[in-house]
Amino acid sequence: MARPDKAAAVAELTDQFRNSSAAVLTEYRGLTVAQLKQLRRSLGENAQYAVVKNTLTKIAANEAGITTLDDLFNGPTAVAFVTGDPVESAKGLRDFAKDNPNLVIKGGVLDGKVMSADEIKKLADLESREVLLAKLAGAFKGKQTQTAQLFQALPSKLVRTVDALRAKQDEQGGAE
């Protein structure tokens, strides 16, 4: 029979896996407490970084429906549970790992899809959600401006063509 404290820990981890848009597994061997505190700050407000027990976390992940991470639960493991923009947290992990080579990104899961360490690093290279939305809005605005100019150009071109035809008819009528 499982101890109540372990059952509660598994239940909490299961909820975190289910409620997170992403979870990134890391190895933190060799990092100091001050460095871990700095790492937590670099992840942003929408991520929680927790040092976990491999066995309990593996059980929790399996209960949450994530069975493909089992190979990553070896050695000292910590999980970054991301509830907001996963790009921001991936950038925080990548940048921290550049300055602190003791942090090793093992892999993770994003919206139910398993990601390797390389894929997480590629995710970090993306621009944030806000920047992408701003670019999309700018593109839409540009297309609207082009469309408005097109619709404005058609009537003015028609008027110029009609004027040219009228002038041509006047010339032909005056020549007779």
**pLDDT the model gives residue 91:** 86
Asked if residues 106 and 25 have their Cβ atoms less than 8 Å apart, the reply is: yes
Burial 128-161 (b: 16+ CB within 10 A, else e): eeeeeeeeeeeeeeeeeeeeeeeeeeeeeeeeee
User: How high is the pLDDT of residue 90?
Assistant: 86
Rg (CA), the chain: 29
pLDDT by 10s per residue, the chain, length 176? 468 888 888 889 888 888 888 889 988 888 889 988 888 888 878 888 888 888 888 888 888 888 888 888 888 888 989 888 888 888 888 888 888 888 888 888 888 788 888 888 888 777 766 776 787 787 777 777 777 777 777 777 777 888 888 888 888 876 55
Task: Determine the Cα–Cα distance for residues 116 and 59; give it in Å rounded to an integer.
Answer: 20
pLDDT at position 175: 57
CB-based contacts of 83: which residues, under 8 Å, 6+ apart? 19, 20, 21, 46, 47, 48
Q: E-assigned strands of 21-74?
A: 22-27, 47-52
pLDDT at 2: 63
The predicted structure's pLDDT at residue 157: 79
User: In terms of residues, how long is the chain?
Assistant: 176
- Token digits of residue 89: 């947290």
Distance in angstroms (rounded) separating the CA atoms of residues 138 and 132: 10
Q: What is the DSSP letter of 116?
A: E
Collect all residues with Cβ–Cβ distance below 8 Å to 127 and sequence separation of at least 6. Answer: 87, 135
User: How far apart are the C-alpha atoms of 49 and 40, rounded to whole Å?
Assistant: 6
Residue 34: count of CB within 10 angstroms of its CB: 8
